Amino acid sequence: MDNKKLILVGILGIVMLLFGSFQLRAQTLTYDLSLDDNVIGSLTVTRTTQGNTMAFDAKSSVTLHLFGETTITIGTTVLYEKDVLQSSTYTVEKDGKPYKQTTVQYADGGYTVDNDGVVSKIDGPITASTIRLYYEEPKAPVSIFAELEGIFKSLDALGGNTFELLDPNGNHRNTYVYNKGILSSGQVQHTLYNLTFALREP
């Protein structure tokens, strides 16, 4: 093989290597959401990585029969670059109507949090938030940023790959159980009920 062909092969190899490192990689997890052992909805979370960028998209819908029938739909989009939270949008609809929205935007080393029109500032950078808990078994104790409320919560290890996420006021305790580094099941505590979730088998 002459020098020109060697150079061409070398350049081609570099291009393929670069392309491979920046190609899109997506992973989707689907969970069944249950109340009193009855499945009432589902949650789908997708993580897409490309180079130093991670994008998360989560959608869930549940139908509750507490005081009449109510359908709650939640959508979350989160963007990380170089392991730092850049933005997030968390929206809640109740029976098809807007109910709650929280947006977070990173700029100049800090974050602007808009929680239903109430704006606050948070120092950055943030490298751990609740959306990442689906794909990454945490190293507790650690402080986790919650995209829903725009606040930090404490995460503690309970043993046996089980963790507890606690609100600052201590009123709500969510549990997370992991299998091979992926969130497999858990419970989300609400004022009127406790919602459980379990990863569907592929």
- Residue 9 reports pLDDT greater than 60: no
Q: What residues make up the domain containing 124? A: 25-199
* Residues ≥6 apart with Cβ < 8 Å to 157: 140, 141, 163
Residue 13 lies in a domain: no
Residue 10 lies in a domain: no
CB atoms within 10 A of CB 140: 14
First-to-last alpha carbon distance for the chain, in angstroms, is 48
Q: Are 186 and 195 in contact (CB under 8 A)?
A: no
Residue 157 lies in a domain: yes
Q: From the centroid of its chain, how far is CA 61?
A: 16
Q: How many domains does the chain have?
A: 1
Q: Which residue has the higher pLDDT, 176 or 18?
A: 176
3-state DSSP call for residue 3?
Answer: helix
Residues 149-184 pLDDT 10s: 999 999 999 999 999 999 888 778 899 999 999 999
Residue 12 lies in a domain: no
DSSP class of residue 134 equals G
Model pTM score: 0.85
